[in-house]
Every structure is written in structure tokens, then in C-alpha cells.
Amino acid sequence: MQPLYEGKAKRLYTTDDPNVLRMEYKDEATAFNAEKKAEFDNKGKLNKAITLAIYNMLEAKGVKTHLVSDVDEINLNVKIVDILQVEVIVRNIAAGSFCKRVGVEEGICFQQPIVEFSYKSDALGDPLINADYAREMGLATEEESAELKEKALVVNDVLIEFFQQCGMKLVDFKIEFGRTRDTGEIVLADEVSPDTCRLWDLETGKKMDKDRFRQDLGGVMESYAEVLERINKHV
């Protein structure tokens, strides 16, 4: 195994199989484009287990992902894909940068989901873009942008229902897609975890995601563990 790439929350390694990479989930957490940093025992373990359960659930519902197999506590094997440099954010309830950008209160429910694109660039702080930017920057064709939006909305529908069964509201999330090298198909990649989704308890409204770290609410890993426990009861 050779280290290939290190991001803020994960590391990628090559494996003996040229089509497969090993994805290691780290304990490090960052927020606000890495202005804020911390390390949490078990974060890698929890996020790996949550992503694995969600990917399996999504696959069962017909959503293709780059998951190949579970490896151990902090590693998954994933199909090698070329990650599109467009992050897709879906919002069901106003929170985070949406509230900041347009000056509305957190918690307002949208009539229909909002889909946003951002340019995956740490140097620029993942700025908001649209399909025209993506086309002119060569990140995605118009057809691909439409496909990303359509796929993200399908993921949203499946996740809303699933998290609802787990007693949580899916406020918003960020996903990434990759193109497979064999067929060129666009599949879900990266992770789906409380680092990348906002989740509120259905009854109390308690925040159960990385906002506990961003906003210094405490009990970050306790909440991630509770998210995993609830998910495991419903898969």
C-alpha cells in the first residue's frame, strides 16, 4: 500500500488492485476551511461505520457508489474514480452558510430542496459556483451538471426518509461524485457522515453533527456515536 493523497479527514492509499483504493478515515476534524482544527478519538471509526451503512443502504435503493468493501475499523476499499471538482450541496432547511449569505434565520424549511454547487478548492475555500461556471471552467458539462443535480436530489429523497426513520431531520448535506475509469459512469464518492450532513433530532431539535464542533456545543463524538447507533437499528 502506498499513500496517494491526504485530505482534511481522510487518506487514500493504492492497493494491489489498480482499480481499488483504500480510504482511511482520520480522527482529525476541521471547520471553516481548516481555520479551526481538533482531533477526536474514534471520529475515523464512527464516520467510516456511518458511511459504510449509508452507502449500503443507498446501493440497496439503486444509488451507485464507489464502495467496494469494508476493510477494518477505519478503512474502506473504494473503486478508483476521478472526483469531479464540483461539490454538490442539498439544503432542506436553512442553516450554515445559507443563513449567513442571505441573512435568514436558521430552521426555516424550504418548500423544495435547494441544490448548490461549489468549486472543490481548499485554496479558494470551496466557493459557490453554478452550472455556467462549471461549464466554462471545464469542471462539468451542462449535461453533467444536470445529472449531478438529479442524482443529488435522489440521494436527498432516500436520505430524508432514512434519517426520519432514525429519528433525525436531514437539514442539509454535501456530496461528491466521481467518474469510473472503466465505464465513465458518475457515481457517489467520498463520505456521508455527520461531518458532511447536518442532522437534528426529530423531537428535540438537538444538533447531532459537526455543528457541535463548529459552534463549540460539546459532546461531538457522543452525538456521532448516537447517529451510528440509530442508523444501525434501521439497516
Q: Which residues contact ligand TMP by CB under 6 A?
A: 89, 95-98, 126, 172-174, 196-198
Please give the residue whose beta carbon sits closest to ligand TMP in the complex.
96
Q: Return the number of the residue (60 or 209) whose C-beta is nearest ligand TMP.
A: 209
Residue 172: Cβ within 10 Å count? 24
Q: Return the number of the residue (11 or 14) whose C-beta is nearest ligand TMP.
A: 11
Helix, strand, coil percentages, rounded to 5, for the chain: 30, 35, 30
* Closest separation in Å from C-beta 46 to ligand TMP: 15
Q: Return the number of the residue (69 or 215) whose C-beta is nearest ligand TMP.
A: 215
Q: Return the number of the residue (174 or 207) whose C-beta is nearest ligand TMP.
A: 174
3-state SS, residue 70: strand
* Closest separation in Å from C-beta 194 to ligand TMP: 9
* Closest separation in Å from C-beta 136 to ligand TMP: 23
CA distance 155 to 49: 19
* Closest separation in Å from C-beta 68 to ligand TMP: 22
Chain centroid, CA 190 distance in Å: 7
Cβ-in-10-Å burial (0-12, 13-18, 19+) of 55 comes to: buried
